[in-house]
Chain A
Amino acid sequence: AQKITQTQPGMFVQEKEAVTLDCTYDTSDPSYGLFWYKQPSSGEMIFLIYQGSYDQQNATEGRYSLNFQKARKSANLVISASQLGDSAMYFCAMREGSTKTSYDKVIFGPGTSLSVIP
């Protein structure tokens, strides 16, 4: 059974500083994808960044980067130069690839609430 853990219910960061949001996962499938989403108070879920299980390098998208440690089964999101608009809920998600039942299912962690302080 797959499982996503986000151990930080809430985080604070000073504007312009970097912050790391933790995510650990559990799977026995060799093929999987890890995703991070941002959910502002308005409710929409915004896709931020993706990391594949076979990717050799950490993913980066603008100010977002993913610290992927496969052996430790962790995929932490790093946000550099935090902005006030980064205040939101952040969710880590996983999608396995081996069977139709697994690759059609995307499981989310409980989320981390990030507050950026001016």
Chain B
Amino acid sequence: ETGVTQTPRHLVMGMTNKKSLKCEQHLGHNAMYWYKQSAKKPLELMFVYSLEERVENNSVPSRFSPECPNSSHLFLHLHTLQPEDSALYLCASSHSSQSSYNSPLHFGNGTRLTVT
């Protein structure tokens, strides 16, 4: 398998549920990202892991909890979400180094989350 794979593609959950989104990359990258894309809004950077260390937490509520066990896997644990958290959640990976400003992000297909 190649590229960036996200599961599940679609998720419907109640506000009291706990669920997890999974992302896996097979590109040999050392940085992974979570972005949130809501309708009519720009992509919002949520979390960045570089060399398995969290380097960015963009004021995201604690009901979103990331986990990066190794450079190939990234999770987003969800609990007690709100309806406004319904969005497309995109995972991406990239090289991370001082010369990596020329490295594009490679995205997964996203998880479309609906909170009821």
Listed in ascending order, the chain A residues whose CB lies under 8 Å from chain B are: 31-33, 35, 37, 42-47, 50, 52-53, 91, 93, 95-98, 100-101, 103-111
Contacts and interface: CB of A to CB of B under 8 A. Distances in A.
Nearest to B45: A105
Interface in B84-99: 88, 90, 92, 94, 96-99
Interface stretch (B14-22, B59-67, B68-76, B105-113): B105-113
A104 to B, nearest CB: 5
Contacts of B45: 105-107
B50 A100 contact: yes
A106 B96 contact: no
Contact of A96 (B88, B101, B103): B101
A62 B88 CA distance: 29
B2 interface: no
Contact of A100 (B33, B55, B92): B55
Given A43-B109, A47-B106, 8 more contacts: A35-B104, A37-B107, A42-B109, A50-B102, A91-B43, A95-B101, A95-B102, A104-B56
B101 A97 contact: yes
B31 A104 contact: yes
Contacts of A107: 45
Contact of B102 (A33, A45, A105, A109): A33
Nearest to A96: B101
A115 to B, nearest CB: 17
A97 B99 contact: yes
A44 B99 contact: no
B42 A104 contact: no
